[in-house]
Amino acid sequence: MSLLITGARVIDPNGERRVDVRVDGAIVSDVADRLDPVDADEVIDAAGLVLAPGFVDLHVHLREPGREEAETIETGSRAAALGGFTAVVAMPNTDPTQDSVEVVDFVRRQGERAGLCEVLPSGSITIGRAGERLTPFAELAAAGVKIFTDDGNGVQDPLLMRRALEYADGLGITLAQHCEVERLTAGAVMHEGSCCSRLGLPGWPSIAEELMLHRDIELVRLTGVGMHFLHLSTAKSVELVRVAKADGLPITAEATPHHFSLTDERLATYDALYKVNPPLRTPDDLAAIRSGLADGTIDAIATDHAPHAPETKEQPLDQAPPGMLGLETALGVSLASLDMGLVDVIAALSWKPAAIAGVGDRHGRPIEPGEPANLTIFDPDQVWEVVPARLASKSRNTPYVGMPLRGRVLHTIFHGAPVVRDGVALR
Amino acid sequence: MTPALKNPSRSLLDVEDLGGDGIIRILDLADHMAEVNRRPNPKVPALRGKTVCSVFFEDSTRTRLSFETAAKRLSADTMTFAVSQSSLNKGESLRDTIETIAAMGVDAFVVRHGSSGAPHLIDAWTQASVINAGDGWHAHPTQALLDAYTVRSALGRTGGLDGLRMAIVGDVKHSRVARSTVAAMRMLGVHVTVVAPRTLLPPDAGDSFADAVTDRLDDVLADLDVLYLLRMQQERTNEALVPSLREYTTRFGLTPERAARLSPQTLIMHPGPMNRGVEIAVDPTDLPGAVITQQVTNGIAVRMAVLFDLLGSGNTAPGAETADISSDTSSDTSREGGSQ
């Protein structure tokens, strides 16, 4: 099949230009000022639209296996494709945990069956994410796992974390940490600050994140083994990463759209929709996350897409699970909230996370002849509002209802084939 | 979870929602209710035909009895739904529980829940009035109202409480009583000092929370109109919040030595139940200013006032209110079981 994309404003690692792009099979076959549409099976008129390499989400919870009432790999993949993502890293906190070759193979196969984006299973660092024994890193790496994390929990034991880093050395994998010293967050449901004091809710202090981040930065310094840090949420965390990077340490970091767009004041209605881990923080923290993204301290925007069935969120805050949807709104929230150039936003959504996920050979590529055709086309100026009932995700826990979003994905091309056309998933 | 379109004044979730004038309105109404309670037959037909359901997800005998007594004295029908949270977790959700009870025809829910904010959620799910009878660490508005009423009536005041000085001592961090009572007192013009170690203060307990914060009870003791003692729980020693109850008593307890330094006019209050020997190491009956029993008694009048304010037919016309509660139920004695 031959696909022609005309008049697009291409933004990729090589910069920005206005060209026509032809895709044959799964490969970009031709890029030129003007290409003849005569022999194309399908033409996408992309005049006024941005054509970019597909986005890569380092952090999604697809809930399968184990919580299929909240999301399946198919519904989550559809949400990803609608959000412009061509690859997503599936977090390991499934049931059973992604701590064996059997489970990660299952997740990958379910992703292939859905065929909407590439689902990259992560592996857990410890068996059952229990924080006690390491998973078989090499076996899992041989099965294609690139990212290892106990996300949902941080690895509390500093000895185990040191051993994990040392053992990972040379395996071609990246350990990713959810930074949270759990002794400091027992029972916590929101950011510890004046808002939680007023609401009478147990607070999640910023230092619980910063202490583990600092510990792990020092372990990276000690071992020389790189790490990725998930969902930074505090101003001090951004500063710690900035200083560590200036020291030349091999670390990367991500931030979620909700941590740069929503504050802890959202919890004032006691609506568990806004309960998330790490919690929504203060305007100062939001500003620090934004500037960390702008100056490259934070490498990637990752959604931490966390579907939950409605009945679980219709509970008092201390009983409801943490997490919010993110895949279908990531671009719109980013362009609405960040004061960054389009190229930098796309870098943080596409080629920078692609490199961290170890899929830089096939995602986040320049749009040039011979490159894999994993692409997204979006209108950077369209202002829209999310309608929960129209989400492709099986769950409805989006926190963005009523917030004007800017930038809407119209077409997503995966392995050379459109999987989203005009904002509608084709499968 | 879109809140239902309901007049917010039909529920009482936070004492802050009333504002100073709203609090004074309730206290004035409570004066009428106290008069009713002094009658030989302390019952009026004001809420006849209304149904009040107590939904207690956390044990509380005194608050539940106080509300039920208040409802009965206004001739409302009462129902009680007591459930431990563990049994709720086994099956029906909170929302289904509330909607099921609401379907039986309830005009008001009186809700006690261990989770902060649970009454706010319930309020969004039902058209009935919701009265917060204590939620987590968050709020206990009727306690705040009965505290304010107790101070006002003990000092023979009308209107607000301008110029009074109060200290509230103890575990403010985990106390819904402290949050609501401090807010109510400040709205009425009281200068409130919070006395606690840092570990028992909410994070960021600054000016927005109280007028002053100190960990030295002895510094403020001599100059108080009201000394309010909070309950100190044994569990707090397990969480390294205080080293021991003995040390707590030494620093923050009302010991005989401290009691001797109080002005005889200083009111001494406690929300109950008291830990004798911990926060109060003297016999309160020996203290001329102790109004702890009056707090309990006043709780009924204040809760009658709240119920009537929310459910009474003439709740916007004070004249109608007093008319409605002035008549007694003597004509109903045959239906009520007869006089003997």
Listing DSSP states for A50-79 in one string gives EEEEPEEEEEE---TTT-TTT--HHHHHHH
- Which residue from B57, B80, B58 is spatially nearest to B67, judged by alpha carbons? B80
Strand order in the sheet with B129-135: B77-82, B51-56, B108-113, B129-135
CA dihedral A282, A287, A293, A298 (to 10 degrees): -40
Query: Which band of pLDDT confidence, cut at 50, 70 and 90, is reported for residue B92?
Result: confident
With beta carbons less than 8 A apart as the criterion, state whether A298 and A255 touch: yes
Which whole-number Å values give the CA distances from B13 to A315, A370, A379, B50, B118, in the listed order?
Answer: 17, 64, 45, 20, 10
Identify the active-site residue in B32, B43, B63, B266: B63
**Set of chain A residues whose Cβ sits within 8 Å of the Cβ of B118:** 270, 316
Q: Is the per-residue pLDDT at A166 higher than 70?
A: yes
Q: Is the per-residue pLDDT at A333 higher than 70?
A: yes
Domain spanning A54-356 has what CATH number? 3.20.20.140
Q: What is the mean pLDDT of residues A230-254?
A: 98
Same fold flag, B8-139+299-329 and B142-294: yes
Residue B336 pLDDT: 37
The question of whether B297 is a catalytic residue gets the answer: no
Residue B7 pLDDT: 58
Task: Tell me the CB-side half-sphere exposure of residue A180, using CA atoms within 13 A.
Answer: 22
Q: Which two tokens stand for residue A95?
A: 């049931």
Q: What is the mean pLDDT of residues B321-330?
A: 54
Query: Which band of pLDDT confidence, cut at 50, 70 and 90, is reported for residue B235?
Result: confident
With beta carbons less than 8 A apart as the criterion, state whether B232 and B195 touch: no
Which distant-in-sequence residues (6+ apart) come within 8 Å of A189 by Cβ? A201, A202, A204, A267, A275, A279, A317, A318
Count how many pairs of residues, chain A against chain B, have C-beta atoms within 8 Å: 72
Q: What is the mean pLDDT of residues A12-26?
A: 97
**Following DSSP, what letter does each residue of A91-116 receive, concatenated?**
PS-SSS-S-SHHHHHHHHHHHHHH-S
Q: With an 8 Å Cβ cutoff, are B204 and A197 in contact?
A: yes
Residue B333 pLDDT: 38
Question: End-to-end CA distance of chain A, in Å?
Answer: 17
Q: What is the pLDDT of residues A368-424, one digit of tens each?
A: 999 999 999 999 999 999 999 999 999 999 999 999 999 999 999 999 999 999 999
Q: With an 8 Å Cβ cutoff, are A196 and B202 in contact?
A: yes
Q: Is the per-residue pLDDT at A132 higher than 60?
A: yes
Q: What is the pLDDT of residues A194-207, one digit of tens each?
A: 889 999 999 999 99
Give the pairing type, strands A55-60 and A85-90. parallel
- Which residue from A301, A312, A302, A300 is spatially nearest to A275, judged by alpha carbons? A312
Query: Which band of pLDDT confidence, cut at 50, 70 and 90, is reported for residue B89?
Result: low
Name which of A222-231, B1-10, B130-139 the model is least confident about. Answer: B1-10
Q: Give the H/E segment covering residue B145.
A: helix B141-154
Q: What is the mean pLDDT of residues B86-113?
A: 86
Give the gap in angstroms from C-alpha A404 to the nearest C-alpha of chain B: 18
Selecting from A198, A273, A316 the residue whose C-beta is nearest the C-beta of B115 gives A316
Selecting from A194, A270, A316 the residue whose C-beta is nearest the C-beta of B204 gives A194
Q: With an 8 Å Cβ cutoff, are B117 and A316 in contact?
A: yes
Selecting from B93, B136, B139 the residue whose C-beta is nearest the C-beta of A314 gives B93
**Set of chain A residues whose Cβ sits within 8 Å of the Cβ of B205:** 197
Q: What is the pLDDT of residues A282-305, one digit of tens each?
A: 999 999 999 999 999 999 999 999
* d(C-alpha B165, C-alpha B167), whole Å: 7
In the block, tokens 């992309």 appear at A46
Q: What is the mean pLDDT of residues A160-178?
A: 98
Greatest alpha-carbon span in chain A: 67
Which residues does residue A406 pair with via DSSP β-bridges, in sequence order? A383
Q: Is the per-residue pLDDT at A104 higher than 50?
A: yes
Query: Which band of pLDDT confidence, cut at 50, 70 and 90, is reported for residue B337?
Result: very low
Q: What is the pTM of this model?
A: 0.93
* d(C-alpha A333, C-alpha A298), whole Å: 17
CATH topology of domain A2-51+370-425: Urease, subunit C; domain 1 (2.30.40)
Identify the active-site residue in A24, A304, A361, A379: A304
* d(C-alpha A181, C-alpha A156), whole Å: 7
Query: Which chain B residue is nearest to residue A270, measuring alpha carbons?
Result: B117
Give the percent of chain B with pLDDT over 90.
78
CATH topology of domain B8-139+299-329: Rossmann fold (3.40.50)
Torsions phi, psi for A261 (to 5 deg): -130, -15
Q: Could you tell me which residues of chain A have a Cβ less than 8 Å from any Cβ in chain B? A: 192-194, 196-203, 205, 269-271, 273, 311, 313-319
Query: Which band of pLDDT confidence, cut at 50, 70 and 90, is reported for residue B84?
Result: low
**Set of chain A residues whose Cβ sits within 8 Å of the Cβ of B204:** 193-194, 197
Q: Is the per-residue pLDDT at B256 higher than 60?
A: yes
Residue B59 pLDDT: 83
Which distant-in-sequence residues (6+ apart) come within 8 Å of B90 by Cβ? none
* d(C-alpha A355, C-alpha A343), whole Å: 16
Q: Where along chain B do its domains lie?
A: 8-139+299-329, 142-294
Name which of A344-348, B262-266, B322-326 the model is least confident about. Answer: B322-326
Q: What is the pLDDT of residues B282-324, one digit of tens each?
A: 999 999 999 999 999 999 999 999 999 999 965 443 334 454 5
Which residues does residue B77 pair with via DSSP β-bridges, in sequence order? B51
Q: What is the mean pLDDT of residues A345-357?
A: 98
* d(C-alpha B172, C-alpha B169), whole Å: 7
Q: Is the per-residue pLDDT at B86 higher than 50?
A: no
Query: Which band of pLDDT confidence, cut at 50, 70 and 90, is reported for residue B233?
Result: confident
Burial class (CB in 10 A: 0-12, 13-18, 19+), B339: exposed
Q: What is the pLDDT of residues B30-68, one digit of tens each?
A: 999 999 999 999 999 999 999 999 999 988 889 999 999
Residue B209 pLDDT: 87
Q: With an 8 Å Cβ cutoff, are B94 and A318 in contact?
A: no
Task: Tell me the CB-side half-sphere exposure of residue B92, using CA atoms within 13 A.
Answer: 10
Q: With an 8 Å Cβ cutoff, are B113 and A201 in contact?
A: no
Query: Which chain B residue is nearest to residue A199, measuring alpha carbons?
Result: B138
More confident residue, B320 or A265: A265
More confident residue, A195 or A52: A52
Residue B238 pLDDT: 84
Q: With an 8 Å Cβ cutoff, are A317 and B179 in contact?
A: no
**Set of chain B residues whose Cβ sits within 8 Å of the Cβ of A201:** 116-117, 136-138
Burial class (CB in 10 A: 0-12, 13-18, 19+), A186: exposed
The three-class DSSP label of residue B77 is strand
With beta carbons less than 8 A apart as the criterion, state whether A374 and A362 touch: yes
What's the angle, vertex CA A236, arms to CA A177 and CA A199, rounded to 5?
90
The question of whether B112 is a catalytic residue gets the answer: yes
* d(C-alpha B212, C-alpha B209), whole Å: 9
- Which residue from A231, A212, A228, A213 is spatially nearest to A278, judged by alpha carbons? A231
Domain spanning B142-294 has what CATH number? 3.40.50.1370
Q: Which two tokens stand for residue A207?
A: 């230092």
